[in-house]
Amino acid sequence: MANRVRSRYPNPLTNKPLPPGGEGSKPPRPRAVSAPPPGGDEAWWASLGCQAEQPTPPASPPPPLARHLDERDFNYQVDEWSAGWSTVQRTIALINDLFMARKVFEMAAAAQPDRWFTLRQRARVLEQHRPKR
């Protein structure tokens, strides 16, 4: 036990403090003196990612739709039919609002009473207009 090296840290069980600079103590570490960074302190902080907040650019418009809209994207459809309901001559309106779809259907039937019109919700026919003979 004669060659026992004392620890630098005190033993909490014995409560004996270390001697100020005696055996087993280490010399203090020299502090390195560094030159200022190139570009100044702001460049050094910026290299660490600590730069001042940049103003955010204005929001860009949303990207264009990936595909064109078609009748699958709307709930209601107003169509003009050929005589005898054989083929659709033209689609007058594709609308998601039932109230607006009914108004468009009524206006089309009132404007051209001699034509055939339907108001559909996908494949289901809600209303149809037949010309009076």
Query: Looking at the domain assignment, is residue 114 inside a domain?
Result: yes
pTM of the model: 0.49
Query: Looking at the domain assignment, is residue 109 inside a domain?
Result: yes
Domain, as residue range, for 101: 86-133
- Give the pLDDT score at 132: 83
- Give the pLDDT score at 72: 80
Query: Looking at the domain assignment, is residue 91 inside a domain?
Result: yes
- Give the pLDDT score at 56: 74
- Give the pLDDT score at 87: 93
Query: Looking at the domain assignment, is residue 40 inside a domain?
Result: no
**Number of domain units in the chain:** 1
Given a cut of 70, the residues of the chain with pLDDT beneath it are 1-55, 65
Query: Looking at the domain assignment, is residue 67 inside a domain?
Result: no
- Give the pLDDT score at 100: 95
- Give the pLDDT score at 31: 54
Query: Looking at the domain assignment, is residue 17 inside a domain?
Result: no
Q: Is 33 buried (19+), middle (13-18) or exposed (0-12) by CB count in 10 A?
A: exposed
Query: Looking at the domain assignment, is residue 111 inside a domain?
Result: yes
